[in-house]
A and B are shown apart, each in its own frame.
Chain A
């Protein structure tokens, strides 16, 4: 079982460049999430998708957009990268509303914006 797969694993961007982080899960989960991890701050929710066709803002959505492409895939886009977006990004998935299953996390994408 692959679980949650993120690509790429590492990326260096210049300020102002754009990129899309990809995430796919093979567990038939309804809900998917994007978090960022910064030193001393734990993980913070950027956006989530409770089910296919819906997306909602989390705690720190500014500077990001998301697309729930289908039930398996949930992408995160940085339209104009800034140094403040240097972070480790994690995608996660879990059972949908009313189904209480744990969240499964991908391996992370380490992004550096210079």
Chain B
């Protein structure tokens, strides 16, 4: 099956520093990747849609200058949390949709998630 890998799975950083999270599709190409944020005991909230070779589309209320998304290749998207603060502590999950020819009608494949703790 399709595999999406995130790295790191767990990161602790000091307030004010920046953290980069990588999302890779290991066995398929993903034109589109999505970044979600999950608070404890809550649902996944869509943060942004990342399209290869173009700017990400952010959901209302998500600061694009704080959550920098880069989708430089068909297998890699990165989320950088800039000047992190304790309220940014959360579980960040990426997902990817395979290109046409493989279940392109809607199924997303999810990464394992990255837990960010900002001290």
- Are A and B physically bound partners? no
Which A residues lie at the B interface, using CB under 8 A?
A: none
